[in-house]
Amino acid sequence: MATVEEPRTFIRPDGKEKVTGTGRYTADLVLTGELVAKFRYADHTHARITRIDVTKARALPGVLAVVTHEDVPDVLYGGLVKDRRLFARDTVRFEGDVIAAVAATTAAIAEQAAALIEVDYEPLPVVTDFEAALAGDATLVHPAWEGYDGAESLGRHHNTLGYTAIVKGDADAALASADVVVKGRYVTDPVQGVPIEPRAVIAQWQGDKVTVWTSTQVPYAARGGVAHVLQMPESHVRIIVPLLGGGFGAKCDFHFEGHVAALARAARRPVKLVFSRREEFFAVGHRREGMVIEFESGARSDGTLVARKARLVLDKGAYCGEGGFFSEMAAMHALGPYELENVNIQSSLVYSNNQPSSSIRAPTAPQVCWALEQHMDELASALGMDPIDLRRKTLIETGSVTATGQVLEQIAMKETLEKAVELIGYGQELPEDEAIGVAVGWWPCFAANSGAYVKLNPDGTGTIITGAQENGTGSVMAMPAYVAAELGMQPEDFSMLYQDTDAAPYDMGSCGSQTTFNSGRAVIAAACDLRDQLLDAAAEQLEASRDDLEFVSGSILVKGSPDKSVTIAELAGDGTFHGKGAGELPFAPEALAEGCVGQSGLEAFHAPQLIAHAVRIRVDRDTGVVRVLQVAAAHDCGTILNRMGADGQVYGGVVMGIGQALSERTQLDAEGRHLNAHLTDYKLVTASDAPQIDIAWIETDTLNAGPKGSKGVGEPPCVPTAGAVANAIAHVIGARVHQLPMTPERVWKAGQ
């Protein structure tokens, strides 16, 4: 175990085009003859559609196509449950349901045509209270749920899309005999991903094949989605992602590529869709869901956690999307990185007529962690223990067995806690309006297949061909360095062909913090394959044994005979060298998971990443305004391959976490419509709000980690920040804030 101290600098290969403005994002592209797309959205959040008439819209001069459900195959799509149509047919279920799409010569004409579409409805009772939607007599958001194609393991029932229970021992009996019992109920508002680039999609058909340029985090999922909803071969769909202006999960999943491809086919012209900021808020099928979280924990007087009960209700919104696994993910975060003797966690993912929730950076974790870490501090208080001492006593460590029966290997949970506490100066004397709060969390790695090629060019340079998607983090940009290291070359010697589904093998995309873990493994394997081929060729040419050869500065030398060498350029000019690889998937962790239902593969956390954040804050008691002054963030993400890139994830993730803690929330009206779908009232953290952030990496050597012992990095940094802020607030005001975000009004009220 080692602590990474020195930054290793790294200039991203896509950096120059980004600082000069010459790089092209999707909305920057223009195709000859392209039309503008606009959508007609639902006029109600829950209603039966009785009539759709597009006659007037189609007759408007300048309109080349109007597309509804009648113009595309009648198929349902979605992730673990297929519950959605591209265009609403009988029912609209949330504000952003698309009824029709228009392609016209100008944006103004397209907007006018969309407004001319006549839609009649019979309004239905609107389900916005997702906790009430659990009741047996609640209005069903999907009356036909039983007929949907959906994963058996989800435990679907009525409005419940997913149900997970994690049971170990007898929590009730343990609570009855505990020395101390603490209960709490916490409620969170929905939060948005808010990439600064609103999404854009362009589709162009050539014969029966379509090319789609799109701002997606998951090009291969987009390809599969277009093929499915238009019922065409996947090989006839090519997805190209120009530069991607951030995602944060909000651009995961397939969605609008299908609408635009259908429009372009109908119009027989290229069609471009560019979202307004308002659409980027309300129309996307991705947001961090609101939750109701109830905890009850019991401890012995020495702090040992004898029992934890939890009841979680998650607002799925109108459709499954790729968030079908959230009930289990939330349940795992209700366990948290703690040793627990008895457990009973019940987690329900519930349909409503609110915007669909799906992945936003570390989905479900920040909300549950915020509640759990407050709950742990409350328990410490009831025990008369320092909250850090309670965590020292109860956190997982190497060899711990989790509540689902997973034996944890090589983790540095307690070490990250100690480092964060040290960096923040825990225990120091502070002004009475300041306090320090601490929270911890965890997050799994996701092992998935990926494939890559590395080819050698005649001039001795190379090209990496990967399906990996660069969403801005730099995880793809770091790949030339990994390949160069295998071949004794420089990162600058490698160009990249990426973000084109016709070029590279399948890749899961920029989600699950998995790019280095999986795509990086494939690229390194391809480089090693190429290395083997070059060694064979050099051994023959130099009449030497392979074992005597080494790669040095773009050449292969015979060790001890510096005059016997061949340059990689010379070898490249003679051959058509290309390596390919996928690498071996690291072994999956085992969990007995006895007594657990509703499993979607998360009951054991693969090579978990461990996180401890400590924050120092100031509260203005008169106004409830909280300012975060300092953050210490300590992470175990295994080996850090690119310090500057990894640090960048922590700086950004912590600041996102502070936004979630204090200001970010989507407000909905009584019918589930957005009230603040713009950046004035949806308040992001600005440069002048952002605090000093000190970062520490505790490197562990986990057997089933990714390449070179690395684990994921991108999602964990936003997991425990809100919990740490909450605990600090409670220290200042002497009361708990039970709603997230902890706005000035809520903090002020709690302090009264």
Partner 1 sequence: MKVAATLSVNGFTYPVELDPGTNLLAAVRDVIGLTGSKEGCDDSECGACMMLLDGQPVNACSYLALQAQGSEITTVEGLADGDTLAPLQVAFLELGGVQCGFCTPGMLISATALLADNPSPTEDDVRIGLSGNLCRCTGYDGIVKAVLSVAGSA
Binding residues for partner 1 (CB under 8 A): 9, 11-12, 14-25, 27-28, 194-198, 243-248, 276-277, 471-474, 644, 647-648, 650-656, 678-680, 684-690, 693
Report, in Å, the least distance between residue 22 CB and partner 1: 7
* Rounded least distance, CB 74 to partner 1, Å: 36
Residue partners of 427: CB distance under 8 A and separation at least 6: none
Residue by residue, DSSP assigns 422-446 as HHHTTT----TTEEEEEEEEEEEE-
Q: Which one, 197 or 603, has the nearer CB to partner 1?
A: 197
Alpha carbon distance 316, 158 (integer Å): 13
Neighbours of 574 (CB within 10 A): 12
> 291 and 312 in contact (C-beta within 8 Å)?
yes
Structure tokens at 198: 């609103």
Cβ-based neighbour number of residue 563 at 10 Å: 6
- Output the smallest distance, CB 717 to partner 1, in A: 9
Question: H or E segment at 333?
Answer: helix 326-335
User: At residue 672, what are phi and psi to the nearest 5 degrees?
Assistant: 85, 20
Q: Which is nearer to partner 1, 576 or 680 (CB)?
A: 680
In what side-by-side order are the strands of the sheet with 578-581?
494-498, 462-466, 452-456, 578-581
Instruction: Give, rounded to a whole angstrom, the gap between the first and last alpha carbons of the chain.
Output: 46
Q: Which is nearer to partner 1, 30 or 588 (by Cβ)?
A: 30
Q: How many CA atoms within 13 Å lie on the side-chain side of 545? A: 4
Tell the smallest beta-carbon distance from residue 263 to partner 1 (Å): 20
CA dist., res. 247 & res. 504, Å (int): 21
Smallest distance, Å, CB 246 to partner 1?
4
CB of 339 to partner 1, least distance (A): 33
- When the beta carbons of 150 and 198 are compared against partner 1, the nearer one is 198
Neighbour tally for 404: CB within 10 Å = 26
Q: In terms of CB distance, is 81 or 655 closer to partner 1? A: 655
Tokens describing residue 618? 């100031």
- Beta carbon of residue 28, minimum distance to partner 1 (angstroms, whole number): 4
Of the pair 206, 686, the CB lying nearest partner 1 is at 686
Question: Could you tell me if 383 and 201 are in contact, meaning their C-beta atoms sit under 8 angstroms apart?
Answer: no
Nearer to partner 1, 318 or 612 (CB): 612
Helices and strands, number each (H, E), in the chain: 17, 30
Helix (H) or strand (E) holding 323: none
CB of 690 to partner 1, least distance (A): 5
Closest approach of Cβ 708 to partner 1, in Å?
A: 21
Residue 691 CB, nearest distance to partner 1 (Å)?
A: 9
Q: Half-sphere exposure of residue 271, counting CA atoms within 13 Å on the CB side?
A: 30
For partner 1, the closer CB: 695 or 737: 695
Which is nearer to partner 1, 25 or 121 (by Cβ)? Answer: 25
Q: What is the CA radius of gyration of the chain?
A: 27
Closer of 23 and 709 to partner 1 (Cβ):
23
CB 220 within 8 A of CB 448: no
CB-CB contact of 720 with 698 (8 Å): no
